[in-house]
Amino acid sequence: MLDLWYWPSIPGRGEFVRLALEAAEVPYRDRARDEGVEALVADMKPRHGIKPFAPPYITCEVEGREVTIAQVGHILTWLADAHGFGASDLPKDLELIMLQLTVSDVVAEVHAVHHPVGVSAYYEDQKDAALVAAKHFREERIPKFLGYFEDALSAIDGPFVLGAKWSHVDTSLFQLVEGLRFMFPKRMAAVEADFPKLIACHDAVAALPGIKAYRASDRCIPFNQDGIFRHYPELDAA
């Protein structure tokens, strides 16, 4: 059985894994949602092979042995190969990895907006630096990253990066747009029209049967102020 382990109270980075599994309708257990955060903390202790540095991670059987795979981009690349939602064409799959790792880069920058000084310090204690970081992120990084993904989606007719076939990169771009809309509603409203292919990709992912069913279920939890994407009104502006 495929197990996903992630902090149970936030969508966070785990959601990028969850969305691909849900779109592909792959059965999995969301262990910390089912068993609580204590089970996750207990599971992170070494029990086989190399332990993950941080959630999300999955455990599954590979060639008869149980393995642990962490790092969102790595998890999704493995799952795409195992469950057939990648390109099944090495040059194209290498491009998908490049795009997926770029999503990880944006996500890290998004977190650094509200935690620019220290990951373990409170937002309130680094708010002045966050205001500066947010301005840079809004004005420079959002257009640069979204423009990059818009170009990637323009290489062939969409709505997805691979054309008519969705991949984990598309479900991740969906979540990126959702998260940025939650965190920076004013900024996103001002710039979204510049990225029509990205928004079309987002909308096509939302229409996938597995994603529709997931978002209508209680498995899908909303963004909150503990996750990666947080809405602090003072960090947003058009």
Residue from 13, 31, 168, 197 that binds ligand GSH (CB under 6 A)? 13
From the CB of 187, what's the least distance to ligand GSH, in Å?
22
By the 10 Å C-beta count (0-12 exposed, 13-18 middle, 19+ buried), 230 is classed as: buried
Q: Nearer to ligand GSH by C-beta: 72 or 142?
A: 72
138-158 burial by CB neighbour count: b if 16+ within 10 A, else e? beebbeebbeebbebbeeeeb
Give the residue closest to ligand GSH by C-beta.
54
Q: Nearer to ligand GSH by C-beta: 104 or 224?
A: 104
Which of positions 29-88 make contact with ligand GSH (CB under 6 A)? 54-56, 71-72
From the CB of 7, what's the least distance to ligand GSH, in Å?
6
Number of residues that bind ligand GSH (CB under 6 A): 8
Q: Nearer to ligand GSH by C-beta: 192 or 232?
A: 232
Q: Is 103 in the site for ligand GSH (CB under 6 A)?
A: no
Write out the residues near ligand GSH by the rule CB under 6 A. Answer: 12-13, 54-56, 71-72, 104
